[in-house]
């Protein structure tokens, strides 16, 4: 079986790299390399945004989480889906219009231009925040690739990580944002097929073999058959906020996602994007949740040394080889799309926000593209090193990065959009407090009680509001 799947993976990698190379034949200015030059249709950007947002975390981390928690895992899906739908309905068009109005290519540059009094400081702080957390996020994706290769081919994880790094770097290096979006679009479809086909096959298997999901949930543990995880009283609130808290990271604070909003051309394209984004989200999260529940019925707790390998195990157990190869490619697609998009965000933070805008290097478009490609390679190699030297779980690493970036920048964006008194010092206070409190919170037992994905958002928002009152912008105070 593995030989058939290996051939399919090879062809899949060849196609993705070829598509990225073909896109590199487009006339490549810096704005096209970083944000696509407003040349992409809304539906393609939506597929790309969804593939980027749903990394190895969804297919490996979330399915494993549901397997070890039962029905209460639904609140994670509910929080994420609500955040995604809110962002598409209420923030996407605003990002598109603001990017056009202020002629910016990155989320960081948008904030700097809006609060020009402290523009350079904002660029430095936001770039450090994004780059610092995203490098670990990229490492988590590559670690997920290693797990996939280990499970599928019994290949050494190090070899799998290196192969994935080469493919990811090739797609980002050749055509920048354009090649990333178009390869994302193809891979987004593959991901959706995996998440929709596998649960149907699994449920048919359970019914055919007369295996009861309800009885399996009871047998798995005391709280597996409870939508509230067996919690009562105050513990219900803690469970709800810890699981639902992913919602807050989607409210404009994830630069790899907001880049897709900023890249849209007009309202017509935005409507296409909204429809695709919402439908994709509902289908994908329903499928992922059902996969986790079906796995509880198929396998006993403790069967897997690493629960984040459940999805590839299910595919190999339920599918013929040629179909298994396609569905397993869906997991690899999730890894590639997120990693190369995050590499592009790190690249734009360094090349556009720091080198071009903050340090003011006078470079031609061609030189900026060359610098950006060098940064792509450097970011990919550093992410690979992190993946090779870290034992952290995909779910936890992504959770921390989600708090550090999304929980910090989401209140910054919401306050910028909807509160006129928000000031430059308030924004700086938001970024600094979000970064510090995320690191402190995840370094203590407090994170196990109340997740930093929740606390960071409100702490960063509070600091932003208080410091905006204390230090209003001069032009707003006059």
Alpha carbons 23 and 177: distance in angstroms, whole number: 10
pLDDT of residue 239: 65
User: What is the greatest pairwise CA distance in the chain?
Assistant: 74
Distance (Å, whole) CA 126 – CA 424: 13
- Tell me the pLDDT tens digit for each residue of 132-152: 888 877 887 787 777 777 777
Residues 6+ apart with CB under 8 A from 443: none
For the chain, domain boundaries: 2-387
Pick out the chain residues at pLDDT < 70: 1-2, 55-56, 229-241, 390-399, 475-478
Q: Which pLDDT value is given to residue 236? A: 63
- Interval 47-70: pLDDT, tens: 999 988 876 678 877 898 899 989
126 and 431 Cβ atoms separated by less than 8 Å: yes
CATH classification for the domain delimited by 2-387, as one of 3.40.50.300, 1.20.1730.10, 3.50.50.60, 1.20.1110.10:
1.20.1730.10
pLDDT at position 392, please?
54
The sign one gets for the Cα dihedral 265, 271, 276, 281 is positive
Distance CA 32, CA 30 (A): 5
Cα–Cα dist 329/148, whole Å: 10
Q: What b-and-e string marks burial along 102-116, b requiring 16 or more CB atoms within 10 Å of the CB?
A: eebbbbbbbbbbbbe
Per-residue pLDDT at 475: 67
Q: Could you give the 3-state DSSP secondary structure of residue 141? A: helix
pLDDT tens-place string over residues 74-117? 988 888 899 999 999 999 999 999 999 999 989 999 999 999 98
Check: CB of residue 383 under 8 Å from CB of residue 343.
yes
The confidence score (pLDDT) of residue 477 equals 45
DSSP string for residues in 254-269: -HHHHHHHHT--SHHH
Instruction: Please give the model's pTM, rounded to 2 decimal places.
Output: 0.84
CA dist 334 → 54, 59, 164, 176, 329 (Å)? 6, 8, 12, 18, 9
Which residue's entry shows tokens 């997991």? 331
pLDDT at residue number 190: 85
SS3 for 285-325 is: HHHHHHHHHHHHHHCCCCCCCCHHHHHHHHHHHHCCHHHHH
* pLDDT one-digit tens code per residue, 423-435: 999 999 999 999 9
**286 alpha carbon, distance to own chain's centre:** 18
Are 453 and 248 within 8 A, CB to CB?
A: yes
- pLDDT score recorded for residue 141: 77
Q: Which of 118, 317, 103 is nearest to 205 (CA)?
A: 317
Mutual orientation of helices 213-220 and 267-298 as an angle, nearest 10°? 70
> pLDDT, tens digit, for every residue of 281-290?
999 999 999 9
Question: In the numeric block, which tokens belong to residue 272?
Answer: 């296409």
Q: Which residues contact 448 (CB under 8 A, 6 or more apart)?
A: none
């Amino acid at each position: 079986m593995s030989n058939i799947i290996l051939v399919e993976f090879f062809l899949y990698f060849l196609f993705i790299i070829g598509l990225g190379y073909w896109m590199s034949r487009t006339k490549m200015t810096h704005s096209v390399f970083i944000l696509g030059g407003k040349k992409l249709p809304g539906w393609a950007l939506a597929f790309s945004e969804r593939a980027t947002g749903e990394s190895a975390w969804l297919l490996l981390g979330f399915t494993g989480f549901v397997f070890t928690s039962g029905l209460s895992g639904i609140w994670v899906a509910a929080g994420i889906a609500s955040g995604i739908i809110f962002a598409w309905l209420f923030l996407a068009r605003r990002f598109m219009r603001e990017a056009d109005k202020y002629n910016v290519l990155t989320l960081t540059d948008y904030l700097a231009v809006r609060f020009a009094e402290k523009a350079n400081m904002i660029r430095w702080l936001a770039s450090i925040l994004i780059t610092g957390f995203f490098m670990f996020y990229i490492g988590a994706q590559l670690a997920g690739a290693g797990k996939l290769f280990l499970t599928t081919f019994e290949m050494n994880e190090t070899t799998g990580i290196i192969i994935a790094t080469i493919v990811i770097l090739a797609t980002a290096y050749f055509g920048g944002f354009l090649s990333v979006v178009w390869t994302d679009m193809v891979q987004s479809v593959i991901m959706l097929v995996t998440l929709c086909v596998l649960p149907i096959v699994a449920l048919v298997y359970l019914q055919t073999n007369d295996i009861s999901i309800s009885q399996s949930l009871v047998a798995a543990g005391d709280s597996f058959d409870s939508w509230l995880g067996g919690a009562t009283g105050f513990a219900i609130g803690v469970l709800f906020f810890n699981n639902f808290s992913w919602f807050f990271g989607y409210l404009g604070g994830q630069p790899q996602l907001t880049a897709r909003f900023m890249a849209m051309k007009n309202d017509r394209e935005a409507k296409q994007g909204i429809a695709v984004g919402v439908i994709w989200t509902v289908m994908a999260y329903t499928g992922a949740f059902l996969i986790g529940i079906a796995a509880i019925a198929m396998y006993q707790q403790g069967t897997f040394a690493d629960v984040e390998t459940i999805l590839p195990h299910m595919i190999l157990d339920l599918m013929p080889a040629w179909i298994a190869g396609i569905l397993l490619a869906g997991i690899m697609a999730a890894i590639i799309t997120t990693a190369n998009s995050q590499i592009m965000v790190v690249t734009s933070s360094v090349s556009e926000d720091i080198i071009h805008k903050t340090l003011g290097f006078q470079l031609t478009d061609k030189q900026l593209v060359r610098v950006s490609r060098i940064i792509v390679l450097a970011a990919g190699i550093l992410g690979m090193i992190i993946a090779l030297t870290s034992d952290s779980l995909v779910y936890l690493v992504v959770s921390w990065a989600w708090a550090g970036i999304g929980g910090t920048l989401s209140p910054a964006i919401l306050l910028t959009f909807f509160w006129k008194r928000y000031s430059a010092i308030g924004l700086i206070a938001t970024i600094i407090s979000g970064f510090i409190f995320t690191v402190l919170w995840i370094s203590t037992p407090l994170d196990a009680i109340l997740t930093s994905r929740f606390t960071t958002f409100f702490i960063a928002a509070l600091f932003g509001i208080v410091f905006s009152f204390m230090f209003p912008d001069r032009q707003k105070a006059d």
